[in-house]
Structure 1
């Protein structure tokens, strides 16, 4: 350890660790094409987990190196302030400067245990302004539309090459041309002056996407080619998507992160934001796998929102949870979840178990049915914006997780999640029989698809599901989830003895699906609809069959867009 180590030297070490991390991230991401071409679906899932894990490993390596060379807590604030100044110089012209800022924040946060949230020490605000479009040529391929639609498709498929053959490329091109002519009228088609596609192919699960837009003088439309492989590992085009709603669902917050290789993530996100203006940029960074920077971008968006609004934080609407205290800011689209200090006797779990469940979801394929959550430490709220009722409730239920310091409420540990309408509230308010049936059908599909992804939801009360603005059902309560193999699905005993259940020997991991109808939804007419649509959920046989599938390690294919958009097979 040397006292001669300078802020400039440490800043250089941090950028070195970031660059090494991004090379590692890119290497895993680049491998997505080969995994897709060879149908290495289990390796695809393992690569996704590895890519999520590597960030903390890189931060730990950087922090360990700093501790080895600097007596951290003997240095004054001036040392760390100068280090940020030197680091900012290194960021000038860096193609991933925004991600490097977040990496720096993570290192400083780890060193000071997230106690010093200060813009003179960290990048609470960006070090530089990103000018969208400056590097657009690095991330976009433009295609000539002055000839014919058929020739344009020829050029696209010549540009985007795969190391496997197509099932029937001529058929796919014909379908694509026909679909485009059906979506655009003759006037629109004649006015198209450019088709732009992002250079990186977006891989997720068993699909690959070419993502771009059709440019006309007065409007632009999404232009997305969805590719899959058949049982012979031959490529085929599954759909042409030109509706923003379909593209928005593909980039939904309940889906796993894409593998899309680029050295210019800010430019890719800027382009995607032009396609999806209703998505926040932090959501798009997260979708690309940069979830740590997504958290930074979220926090910047959040403090900007606080500065422009005056409403108060309050308990979230709905039934209070037994494990989590949930609150929100009515004008903002997320909820904040804090683990309670004590759980009732019915919840035989620990605080660490709850954290493990949330980690399991983070590492799993969320198949569009489990909300992504983001973990924060020492998150600060202005005390003046916290309603007195909420503060009282937090002090009663989560005292060990909160602290009041001057004019701030500091939350030592919390999760942030997208806000949705809880299903129990939706069903109380909705009067349309068609919408109620749709919601209950979505509920059954949600439970089944989570199970096919090897997650048993555990607590399936309808209050633990939310419905999105697109009408999709999402599960968001994870304290009782587990792998499918960890449950024993049993039949209820058939007996005329009314006390037979009382004498039944029940192990902690035993589950009786025939009882599900009594607690998933409460009212009889809702139960009847659910049983009509998804009665197999109440059968032990259904769950045992799913266990056989998940035990074989079979990776399921979950198509995120509307089934009606798929070309016939």
Structure 2
């Protein structure tokens, strides 16, 4: 059984690496639709390999593969097989996934699966090299070598201009903060390039004695057979946004995942392990790391889960742990009118988000089945709420509470709550972000459906992000209409709407209602985004998407982009 599972893992990991190796060709061909499809295919690949391995397990033994004692023995054998594997942590998670395909999660036990890793978690051994080191006292020459020795096949559009721009940022952000001799700087560049959407990221670090600066050089394709540098990043906050939980996973050739994760963690120490693995394209292992971190946090804290602050939703009941920056979302048993969705529709919507380009505007979620919590960690008010609205999804077993299905998501301040204490400058910025969020989602072929302020959150970087997915739809499936004018006095005086409204009909003029009495915020919003009330804006976007348009949205501010004397033509959609 252990060998069969290991063979399944090797097959998955080989296909995973092949899918990432093809990212360079898609980027250089400007095959943006291929980029989107490759992301979906890679996610489906894992599920297919697990199912295939389960099938083979039933063929290699005449014993009952549901027997837990047999799994305990298999784990011991598997631990020996993956000992000193360079990708041991992903192999262990694959073992867990095969087990979970056959058993409920309430049977989780470290004797049977890898609740904890079999390896000591420590700094990687030095025998593996995942980066190239550049040294010398000529900064321009170093960056020239970095660009010239990259893996790209296409030529640079204007490498001297690229170097001018990179050095300008380096001299303003790094040079003033150096503590050692400028001649002793070391530049470490990860061997593999990170690909996502329409950009390629060369990621590394600048070492100045005991201090380290992150480094990311962002490469774009001008779609005329040439590449150019769009920006260079040398600070932790900006790099953290590039690796944000609101962004899709990267395509990166990382045969040594733990080493890559450790390297990135030194550049972004506030990032948790599961966030790093998620960015690297290992969402299943990210779930493993998240669960381990949750268990550790529960063991080292004593506060109780409580109902999440804010306006309660009609589809989800949401709770949180005050000491933990995560929300937990459970689908309610029944939905109050006018909601007409089902449990399966809601799950399908969340699945769609997990496979769509989130463009920095939709929060990543993880779903869990049969997650077990200590019962005494739930406040009486929350427990009463769960029993009232989601009784079919929870089960009390002694001193444990089993939640049969839930989603986890990073906690953000709901936009309506944020505005209550925001000053005028913060409010204006939030309203600009709110409009940009809606526009960028729309340009990525996502219509949020339900757009009240409470369905959007504000991150610690003051970005506005959408997080309520039960009514999202493809923009191209929507029918945007103007509200018809009444033709008679009787129609004008009629209660309710006198005209017919189809299930896909949307009236942008009604979007003003989402501000719920916050007139100051609405005025600011309309100064910047009144075009969202116009049917022509939405229908124009639909036409562009049907013609094959793929959105440019990059994870840094417009001011960070190098001035190359060009107009992007997409400023309305940029950050």
| TM-score class normalised by the smaller sequence | over 0.9
Q: Distance in 2 between matches of 1:424 and 1:136?
A: 52
Cα distance in 2, alignment partners of residues 39 and 276 from structure 1 = 30
* Aligned counterparts of 1:563 and 1:423: Cα–Cα separation in 2: 23
> Would you say the 8 A contact 2:174–2:234 is kept in 1?
no
Task: Indicate which of 213, 233, 249 corresponds to 1:221.
Answer: 213
**Of 429, 435, 441, which residue of structure 2 is paired with 1:438?**
429
Equivalent position to 2:200, from 208, 228, 236: 208
Q: Does 1:539 align with 2:534?
A: yes
User: Displacement, 1:179?
Assistant: 2.6
Q: Identify the residue that residue 559 of structure 1 maps to in structure 2.
A: 554
Secondary structure, aligned partner of 2:357 = coil
Corresponding residue for residue 168 of structure 1: 158
* TM-score, length of structure 1 as denominator length: 0.95
Give, in angstroms, the shift of residue 245 of structure 1. Answer: 1.1
User: What's the CA shift for 1:97?
Assistant: 0.5
Shift of 1:115: 3.5
CA contact (8 A) 2:395 2:402 kept: yes
Q: Which runs of 5 or more residues in structure 2 are unaligned?
A: 565-575
Change in Cα spacing, 1:187 to 1:114, as seen in structure 2 (3 Å) is: closer
- Say yes or no: does 1:516 pair with 2:508: no
1:61-120 per-residue CA deviation (whole Å, 9 max, x = no partner) reads 111111234466476432211100000001111111101111111111111132411111
1: CA distance between counterparts of 2:261 and 2:68?
Answer: 34
Q: State how far apart, in whole Å, the 2-side matches of 1:136 and 1:220 are.
A: 22
1:155 paired with 2:155, answer: no
Contact 2:331 2:343 in 1 (8 A): yes
Is this contact kept in 2: 1:109–1:115, CA < 8 A? no
Aligned to 1:4: none
Q: Distance in 2 between matches of 1:75 and 1:258?
A: 36
Aligned partners of 2:57 and 2:65 also within 8 Å: no
Q: CA deviation at 1:161?
A: 3.1
Query: Which deviations, in whole Å up to 9, do the C-alpha atoms of 1:185-219 show, x marking residues without a partner?
Result: 36827164211111110000110011111101142
Classify 1:64/1:135 alpha carbon distance in 2 versus 1 (closer, same or farther; 3 Å): farther
Separation in structure 1 between the aligned mates of residue 345 and residue 65 of structure 2, nearest angstrom: 37
CA distance in 1 between counterparts of 2:148 and 2:224 reads 22
- What is residue 569 of structure 2 aligned with on the other side? none
Residue deviations 1:326-384 (CA, integer Å, cap 9, x gap): 00111001100000000012001111000010011011000000000001000111001
The CA deviation string for residues 424-460 of structure 1, in whole angstroms up to 9 with x for no partner, is 1111122x10000101110000011011111110000
In the other structure, the counterpart of 2:71 is 80
Gap change, CA 1:186 and 1:315, over 3 Å in 2? closer
Task: Indicate the residue corresponding to 2:384 in structure 1.
Answer: 392
Give SS of 1:454's match.
coil
SS of the residue 2:115 aligns to = coil
Question: Cα gap change, 1:72/1:476 in structure 2, threshold over 3 Å: closer, same or farther?
Answer: farther
Structure 1, 124-133 or 536-545: larger mean CA deviation: 124-133
Structural RMSD (CA): 1.5
User: What's the counterpart of residue 499 of structure 1?
Assistant: 493
CA–CA distance in structure 2, aligned partners of residues 162 and 130 of structure 1:
34
CA distance in 2, matches of 1:65, 1:521: 57
Aligned length: 558
Given that residues 246 and 562 in structure 1 are in contact (C-alpha distance below 8 angstroms), is that contact kept between their aligned partners in structure 2?
no
Contact 1:135 1:267 in 2 (8 A): no
Deviation at 1:157, TM superposition (A): 2.1
Q: CA deviation at 1:521?
A: 4.7
Instruction: Report the CA distance shift for 1:422/1:378 in structure 2 as closer, same or farther (over 3 A).
Output: same
Indicate yes or no: 2:55 matched with 1:38.
no
Distance (Å, rounded) in 2 between the aligned partners of 1:518 and 1:479: 19
